[in-house]
A and B are shown apart, each in its own frame.
Chain A
Amino acid sequence: MREIHERDLEFLSIGAAILGTGGGGDPLIGKLMAQSAIREEGPVILLDPEEVGDDMFVLPASMMGAPTVMIEKIPAGDEALHAFRAAEQRLGRRADATCPSESGGVNSMIPFVVAARARIPVIDGDGMGRAFPELQMETFHVYGLSGTPAILADEHGSIVMIDANDHYRLEWLARGVTIRMGGHAHIVDYPMSGADFKRTAVRGTISMGIAVGEAVKSAPRRGIHPVEAIAEATQQTIYGRAVRLFEGKVVDVVRRTEAGFAVGQAVLSGIGTDVGRVMEVRFQNENLAAILDGKVVASVPDLITLVDSETGFAITTERIRYGQRAVVIGIPTPEIMRTKEALDVWGPRAFGLQMDFVPLEVTYRSYYLQYGVPKEKEKYLR
């Protein structure tokens, strides 16, 4: 258990952008919302999953819709609270805690807004361990929780409750409501018990986001490169140590809109120790695959993020442009995101890529032999 103050969210906004793997929306608006709420209501308690009682009632909170609308029509700030009250009334029970559905990007912040206002804790874990574009792409779905009733709320206090028999249908209906709500909406879905959370969530993702952000921010003062700082900050987590995949200059960016997603690829030409080599990064909102001289070295759901080669701050897919110098880093996903049923939902083939998922620990075997991996990942090194 720890208290989260405005300053922690400064760090989280940097770390969550890295966990956003190029997507997830800019955490800035979410950070300012959460900081405002904390300034008015006081700090928020972040609970370790081990501190969560089995019978606690947990409601995840997030936003869905277009980040471009979010930066103009900023929320009222009480949408998630309204959705909470509606869910509580329907389910006949007050929420004991909230958690993020998505720890990458803007949605890392939304639970802190509602937690401050409802005076409940946030649990340190989420349903993605990163950013993904759709509601069924959550461990909560993969491991059998019900996404419904799902409640969408807008700034006027309107509430739309969706009961659907599967999560693909839920995604489809919720997407339509979001458009009518003006391009974005708050959503409370996957109502669950504390036991459900502990069984299905990716753990420790918020504290890791804060730690990664703090490491990046303090790297210049400590005289280390920010990429090294990210590697150190991830070493002791359930992800395992981040690995530097490539350093290069962006020499080509192709971007097109397909079914509401930004789809394309960036090509980087190597600099420093990577001179003479080429890396291609494919993306659909989030980065999906990193291909080095024609060979896939990292793929979804492992995290692939471009960071500014000087500051270590994440570069989102919509901001990649020719001439930028970036380091491409990979962060291995936790095992809970790599099971067969998980990869069916978000492996490379779920995004239309003709490749199988290969864990970073396999591709960068000697690196991980040197630095070690979390216990449950030792199987990759045998």
Chain B
Amino acid sequence: MGYRLGIDVGGTNTDAVLIDGRQQVVAKAKTPVTDDVISGIAAAAQDVLSRSGVAPDAITHAMLGTTQVTNAIIERRGLERVAILRLGAPATRAIPPLADWPEDIRTKVEGPTVILPGGVEYDGRPISPFDADAVRRFVSEALDQGIRAFAVTAVFSPVRNDDERRTMEIIESLAGERAHVSLSHEIGSVGLLERENATVLNAAVRTVAHDVISAFRNAMRALGIHAALYLAQNDGTLMSLDYARRYPILTVASGPTNSMRGAGFLSGLKDAVVIDVGGTSTDVGVLSGGFPRESSAAVEIGGVRTNFRMPDLISIGLGGGTMVRIVEEAGDAPHAIAIGPESVGSKVVERALVFGGETLTMTDVAVAKGMARLGDPDRVRVREGVIDKIFARAVGMAEEAVDRIKTRAGEVPAIVVGGGSIILPDRLAGISEVIRPPHYEVANAVGAAIAQVSGTVDRLFSLEQQKREEALQEAKHEAMDAAIKAGADPDRVEIIDIEEIPLAYLPGNAVRIKVKAAGSIKA
């Protein structure tokens, strides 16, 4: 019987779970994030192997959810210089690439930049003829300057991507293995600047992603795990390591997606509010039909605007390690209290009062309230009224976040997960029932382990030879077949996205249909 290993690297902990063919969690582990990250991954994986007694070669699939790419962007670390090609001239010249990037990241990433003819109108008609010679000249010069990363963005490439593909062929013919090319239509949707930004970021994080992927592969190999390896992406599906190497930016926001999908899986609910309490912050989101509800607003990563599909989340500075300050007032005046946003993070096991430390944290408050049995409760020497006040304030923060994220009036169930969730009570305003599923503290790693494999179709159909419904059916079938070929269980494949773009100018009543199908991995 095959096992799946799910690993999630968060801000505070690295979590790992082992899931068997009957979809049961057989072992779990939680270790503090290490500076090199990868030794934490190895330690957590080793831990679940020892606890379960499962042989390494019984693991058929291993999935990693990681924030390292995101962190590299936020901290401006290990970023590569990128040659930026935009196709659409004479249009788009009014705003050059990277125009609204923060200066500190722009100077690290911006390489040779050009706006050349190409691209299409909203209906697929060309804006101006593609100029292969101009592309060739630009690419040669960039290569001469030692540039290896290329980002290519054509106007309306989500409608027609021919010019991006031709550019990639030219770059590959000139550079061979030396270069790697990021194409915008693979990465984002309509909204040129945001899509271009994401494409440039994708090109810039190549080295970082390469390191993560190699380290993951090496750690698994060292443990004797010869499974199929995957990285989790932001829509709750998996990427092969080869695909992840080409599109590492798609790992952004996989963390919240994993924990929400893990919460749904562990509780058996498809529609609920999910409250994920970590060491430093709490993310509140909505699970709708088993998938996170997506945000409609532009998403900034490290100050760069993108239009990724991200879960709609409200994050508040409340977690198990959140520091609480009490300001003693004179006389009978009430105590002023302040909750966070600072946190002791993974050091909670040393610095919290109950563990012999000197810092009052939310974990201490939960212990003093009798909600959790940890360490030495007597070390929390704060008057009871004050503890109640702090607790009420923290609950109020969570309740407000819940109220803001809810999509309909009335009470809904909430799934509470994450290592810090001991600080929340079993009753919350606006919530019909607080559900703490088994293994709630490693829901994110569970989410990675149950992430789905997908198949996509993206091509033109002529509605002269077939009806629209037939074309859609055909596309759906092809996408589902592709997902099954990638390893999805045929009984559990579902269509997760359909996009239909009419191309009015083309003869034959053409329409572009994009379908993505996804399903759980066949055990």
B218 within 8 A of A: no
Known: A182-B121, A322-B408. A72 touches B156 (CB 8 A): yes
Tally of chain A residues near chain B (CB < 8 A):
30
A60 within 8 A of B: no
B438 within 8 A of A: no
A77 within 8 A of B: yes
B7 within 8 A of A: no
Give the nearest-CB partner of B298 in chain A.
A28
Residues of B close to A155: CB separation below 8 A: 90-91, 93, 127
One of A29-37, A124-132, A355-363 at the interface: A29-37
A73 touches B92 (CB 8 A): yes
Q: Could you say which of B93, B297, B409 contacts A76, with CB atoms under 8 Å apart?
A: B93
B190 within 8 A of A: yes
Known: A182-B121, A323-B404, A323-B405. A72 touches B190 (CB 8 A): yes
B92 touches A323 (CB 8 A): no
B88 within 8 A of A: yes
A382 within 8 A of B: no
Known: A68-B190, A183-B122. A75 touches B94 (CB 8 A): yes
Give the nearest-CB partner of B121 in chain A.
A182
Q: Could you say which of B94, B96, B122, B409 contacts A69, with CB atoms under 8 Å apart?
A: B122
A36 touches B88 (CB 8 A): no
Known: A32-B100, A36-B94, A183-B121. A72 touches B296 (CB 8 A): no
B-facing residues in A225-280 (Cβ within 8 Å): 249, 251, 269
Residues of B close to A37: CB separation below 8 A: 94
Kindly provide the distance from the CB of A264 to the nearest chain B CB, expressed in whole angstroms. 16
Residues of A close to B404: CB separation below 8 A: 323, 325
Mark A316-332 against chain B: 1 for CB-CB distance below 8 A, else 0: 00010111010000000
Secondary structure at the B interface, as helix, strand, loop or mixed, is: loop
In the complex, A77→B29 CA distance in Å? 57
B407 touches A36 (CB 8 A): no
In the complex, A203→B297 CA distance in Å? 33
B-facing residues in A17-65 (Cβ within 8 Å): 29, 32-33, 35-37
Residues of B close to A325: CB separation below 8 A: 404
Mark A289-330 against chain B: 1 for CB-CB distance below 8 A, else 0: 000000000000000000000000000000101110100000
A113 within 8 A of B: yes
> Which of B88, B89, B93 has the largest number of chain A CB atoms within 10 A?
B93
A-facing residues in B160-216 (Cβ within 8 Å): 190-193
A2 within 8 A of B: no
A1 within 8 A of B: no
In the complex, A319→B296 CA distance in Å? 7
A113 touches B94 (CB 8 A): yes
Residues of B close to A68: CB separation below 8 A: 190
A74 touches B193 (CB 8 A): yes
Q: Could you say which of B99, B121, B127, B191 contacts A71, with CB atoms under 8 Å apart?
A: B191
Residues of B close to A182: CB separation below 8 A: 91, 121-122, 127
In the complex, A37→B93 CA distance in Å? 11
> Which of A72, A75, A319, A325 has the largest number of chain B CB atoms within 10 A?
A72
Residues of B close to A169: CB separation below 8 A: none
Mark B382-417 against chain A: 1 for CB-CB distance below 8 A, else 0: 000000000000000000000111111100000000
B91 touches A33 (CB 8 A): no
In the complex, A232→B408 CA distance in Å? 35
A76 touches B191 (CB 8 A): no
A321 touches B296 (CB 8 A): yes
In the complex, A251→B409 CA distance in Å? 7
Give the nearest-CB partner of B307 in chain A.
A71
Residues of B close to A75: CB separation below 8 A: 91-92, 94
Q: Could you say which of A35, A73, A113, A323 contacts B88, with CB atoms under 8 Å apart?
A: A73
Give the nearest-CB partner of B155 in chain A.
A73
In the complex, A321→B286 CA distance in Å? 14
In the complex, A319→B191 CA distance in Å? 15
A71 touches B192 (CB 8 A): yes
B333 within 8 A of A: no
Residues of A close to B88: CB separation below 8 A: 73-74
A156 touches B90 (CB 8 A): yes
A72 touches B90 (CB 8 A): no
In the complex, A155→B297 CA distance in Å? 29
Residues of B close to A69: CB separation below 8 A: 122
> Which of A113, A156, A157 has the largest number of chain B CB atoms within 10 A?
A156
In the complex, A74→B404 CA distance in Å? 35
Give the nearest-CB partner of B119 in chain A.
A73
B222 within 8 A of A: no
In the complex, A182→B89 CA distance in Å? 14
B95 within 8 A of A: yes
Residues of B close to A113: CB separation below 8 A: 94
A-facing residues in B74-112 (Cβ within 8 Å): 88-96, 99-100
Residues of B close to A72: CB separation below 8 A: 122, 155-156, 190-192
In the complex, A56→B408 CA distance in Å? 57
Residues of A close to B119: CB separation below 8 A: 73
Residues of A close to B90: CB separation below 8 A: 76, 155-157
B96 touches A36 (CB 8 A): yes
In the complex, A249→B407 CA distance in Å? 11
Known: A72-B192, A251-B409, A322-B408. A32 touches B95 (CB 8 A): yes
Give the nearest-CB partner of A183 in chain B.
B122
Kindly provide the distance from the CB of A238 to the nearest chain B CB, expressed in whole angstroms. 32
In the complex, A74→B99 CA distance in Å? 13
Residues of A within 8 A of B (CB): 29, 32-33, 35-37, 66, 68-69, 71-77, 113, 155-157, 182-183, 249, 251, 269, 319, 321-323, 325
Listed by A's residue number, 26 A-B pairs whose Cβ atoms lie within 8 Å are: A32-B94, A32-B100, A35-B99, A36-B94, A36-B95, A37-B94, A68-B190, A69-B122, A71-B193, A72-B190, A73-B92, A73-B156, A73-B192, A74-B91, A74-B192, A74-B193, A76-B89, A77-B93, A77-B94, A77-B95, A182-B122, A182-B127, A249-B403, A319-B297, A322-B408, A323-B406
